[in-house]
Structure 1
Amino acid sequence: MKLMVNKRNTSTYLSLGFAVVIAIYISIKVATKQTFWLDERLADLFAYVPDIFNPFFLLLAELGDKKGIGFVALIVLGWLLLKRNLLGAAAIALSVALGNEVNKLLKELIARPRPELDHLAHVDSLSFPSGHAMVGFIFYYFIAYLVLDDLKSSKARITVIMLTVLLLLLIGSSRIILQVHYPTDVIGGFAFGYIWVLASIYIYNFFKKKLKK
């Protein structure tokens, strides 16, 4: 059991370190007005998605927006309150709210303009990092973490993980397909979101242990 815990901690630290490197690397390049070959390659790849799917991706984008997250949050917070997990409800709400403010601060500091394309969705802020990617990652990752905490079946756990990963990838992809973000905006958003949600979960578990004593 200790070996399994140590392996899990090691993989978490490695993935966190990787996310920090990615977040810093992309932020520096964007802030210094450097270009990414990845932006062109991935944008060209997503350009092959037929326009007929745009309504679907607009709907997906809503799940990473304030209204979509607010709607899902009401359901999740209701579920947590029924379980009497007040700490979990507070942790998600605070993590998402503060994460959103950090995202706004990063946008202002780095000040990357939106892609010079016809935006297929309404945007009124700067480009890097993607708020949908960052805040969506924080929100849905934290929900998945709390759900997994209640599951014993390995098949159920794998299903939750796969659905969460798929949802996040689709939300991130929607921002590129709708031509409102560069791919590196989304990658950077995921990296910052992962860093933030891991810190939030650490704080949540810290207080959870304190309350049990």
Structure 2
Amino acid sequence: MKNKGNYFTYIFVCLAAIIAIYISIKVAAKEIFWIDAKLADLFTYVPDNLNPFFLLLTELGDKKGIGIVALVVLVWLLLIKRHFLGAAAIALSTALGNEVNKLLKDLIARQRPELEHLAQVDSLSFPSGHAMVGLTFYFFIAYLVIEGMESAAAKRMVVTVTVLLLLLIGASRVILQVHYPTDVIGGFAFGYIWVMMSIFIYTFFKNKLENNRK
């Protein structure tokens, strides 16, 4: 079962890499994506009175929101679980992922949509930092939570809630008119690659520490 899970992980990482590279090349070449127009049009049907809800959601992918959640998670990992490696891994992965996102933004240099921005922005557009860093952070939290679970149903619940949260954060960036849909898709692709690399490194050191204790 574990080998089957690893097999699917490799497939998803490869797909994420293909998506990330494909979108990055087209964005850098200033090409237009039909999916940007189609999805943006679809999101225009979201009622304006839901904007406060999406503003709240988008804060969960911002530095302030991630900082608050990170404080709670680090207290849980350090003081309750005494999981020092997990705390260090999630902090480093998120911080370095944020820096990688900045480098990608500067390298590709895509401007924000020429629309009224309904949320404050102060950086370039691709890839979405909320999507990339948010996926890295919340996916890693979900992984650490699931790691201590035995119930398959509970694991599925954690995965479902995490995926739903990330999709809503990603959608909020388009609904608030601060990102193109491909910014979010590319952000998720880069974020997935980054978090899986981080989890691989975390697992390596965890196994090494466990072997040293034997």
Give the structure-2-normalised TM-score. Answer: 0.97
| Structure 1: distance between partners of 2:121 and 2:73 | 27
Q: Secondary structure at the match of 2:67?
A: helix
Aligned positions of 1:10-159 closer than 5 A:
10-81=7-78, 82-159=80-157
Deviation at 1:39, TM superposition (A): 0.2
SS at 1:35 equivalent: coil
Alpha-carbon separation, structure 2, partners of 1:198 and 1:176: 25
Q: How far apart are the structure 2 equivalents of 1:156 and 1:8?
A: 17
In structure 1, the gaps of 5 or more residues are none
Q: Cα deviation per residue 1:41-66 (whole Å; 9 max; x = unaligned)? A: 00000010000000000000000000
2-side partners of 1:172 and 1:34: how far apart?
Answer: 22
- RMSD in angstroms over aligned alpha carbons? 0.5
Q: What is the identity, as a one-letter code, of the residue corresponding to 1:42?
A: L
The one-character-per-residue Cα deviations of 1:168-212 (angstroms, maximum 9, x if unpaired) are 000000000000000000000000000000000000011111111
Aligned partner letter, 1:186: V
Give percent identity, aligned residues only: 73
How many residues in Structure 1 have an aligned counterpart in Structure 2? 210
1:112 Cα deviation after fit: 0.2
Aligned equivalents of 2:2 and 2:156: distance in 1?
18
Amino acid across the alignment from 1:115: P
